[in-house]
């Protein structure tokens, strides 16, 4: 269940952390174990889902407290999602989100003189 950033942001905004945790779990373990990974038969699925959901709630709550008046709600939710996803990938020792977005510059090609 791969979530787009928009879907994940909407779920975090509505505090539907379980849906986001399920998406993160599936994405991360597919990256780690390849196509052979079946999330429905994984032995420690409940443990991971609870851990991811707790971390997402923790990060989102902390960001809401610190940025309530300085940032829009959707930006806070996006940052919470991205930070949680990076935390999970670092914990599992995989390069997923970080690698996919490396070098993304809104479709612009920068010349050496611009850098």
pLDDT digits (tens, 9 = 90+) for 66-94: 876 778 888 889 999 999 999 998 888 88
Domain spans, the chain: 5-100
Task: Write the CA distances from 90 to 34, 94, 95, integer angstroms.
Answer: 17, 6, 8
**Distance between CA atoms of residues 1 and 24, nearest Å:** 8
Whole-model pTM over 0.85? no
pLDDT digits (tens, 9 = 90+) for 42-55: 788 889 899 999 99
**Distance between CA atoms of residues 12 and 21, nearest Å:** 10
Checking phi first, is residue 15 left (phi over 0); if not, alpha (psi -120 to 50) or beta? Answer: left
pLDDT of 59 over the 80 cut: yes
Which residues, 6+ apart, have CB-to-CB distance to 102 below 8 Å? none
């Amino acid at each position: 269940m791969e979530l787009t950033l928009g879907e994940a942001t909407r779920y975090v905004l509505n505090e539907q952390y379980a849906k986001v945790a399920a998406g993160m779990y599936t994405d991360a373990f597919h990256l780690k174990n390849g196509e052979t990974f079946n999330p429905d038969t994984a032995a420690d699925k409940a443990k991971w889902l609870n851990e991811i959901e707790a971390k997402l709630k923790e990060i989102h709550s902390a960001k809401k407290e610190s940025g309530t008046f300085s940032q829009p709600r959707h930006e806070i939710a996006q940052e919470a999602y991205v930070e949680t996803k990076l935390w999970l990938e670092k914990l599992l020792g995989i390069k997923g989100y970080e690698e996919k977005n490396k070098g993304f510059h809104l479709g612009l090609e920068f010349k050496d003189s611009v850098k």
